[in-house]
Amino acid sequence: MRLTQYLASKLKNFSNLPKEYIERSKKQVYWQTPKEINYLPRTVERKRFRYTTNRSWTGQFRQQNMPGTVRRKVLVEPIEDWSFFRGDRIEVLVGKDKGKQGIVTQVIPERNWVIVEGLNWHYRKVGGEKEFPGIIIKT
């Protein structure tokens, strides 16, 4: 069991992208000293982000965390021994979906969220006009 947890901790959320690329795409530098000899390397950048279901290298994440936007901090108690991984079959123990089983499709450890296939859906009506009732999509 320890070997499995160790190996799973080395995988980075099944993103298949290098960690340096993800950090670079998240980076929002507000101010940086010139790259000359007489300046010390100093930067003023954003360090706290609001994590949602959008991955940190996507445009939606960048749009939700635009420079200059200040959002309320989400207080999350980090789980030390994370035992949910993508592809696991789980059963919901509490909430409106109690007793249902599903497969984990996405894990967001920054918010302690686990997205389960077929359970975490909201239905939205899109494109409704006078003559056309619109369509319903799952989000």
pLDDT of residue 93: 92
Window from 22-26, 85-89, 109-113, 127-131 with minimum mean pLDDT: 22-26
Same domain, 12 and 71: yes
Whole-angstrom distance, CA of residue 83 vs CA of residue 95: 20
pLDDT of residue 34: 92
- The set of residues, in sequence order, having a beta carbon less than 8 Å from that of 14 and lying 6+ positions away, is 86
Whole-angstrom distance, CA of residue 93 vs CA of residue 100: 8
Same domain, 2 and 64: yes
Same domain, 45 and 63: yes
Taking only the tens place, the pLDDT of each residue in 17-61 is: 788 888 888 888 888 899 999 999 998 888 888 888 888 888 888
Helix (H) or strand (E) holding 31: strand 29-32
pTM: 0.62
- The enclosing domain of 115 has a CATH number of 2.30.30
Same domain, 87 and 129: yes
- 108 within 8 A of 51, measured Cβ to Cβ: yes
Taking only the tens place, the pLDDT of each residue in 64-101 is: 888 888 888 888 898 888 888 899 999 999 988 899 99
Mean pLDDT of 98-117: 89
Range of the structural domain that residue 8 is part of:
1-75
Number of structural domains in the chain = 2
- End-of-domain residue from the set 41, 75, 109: 75
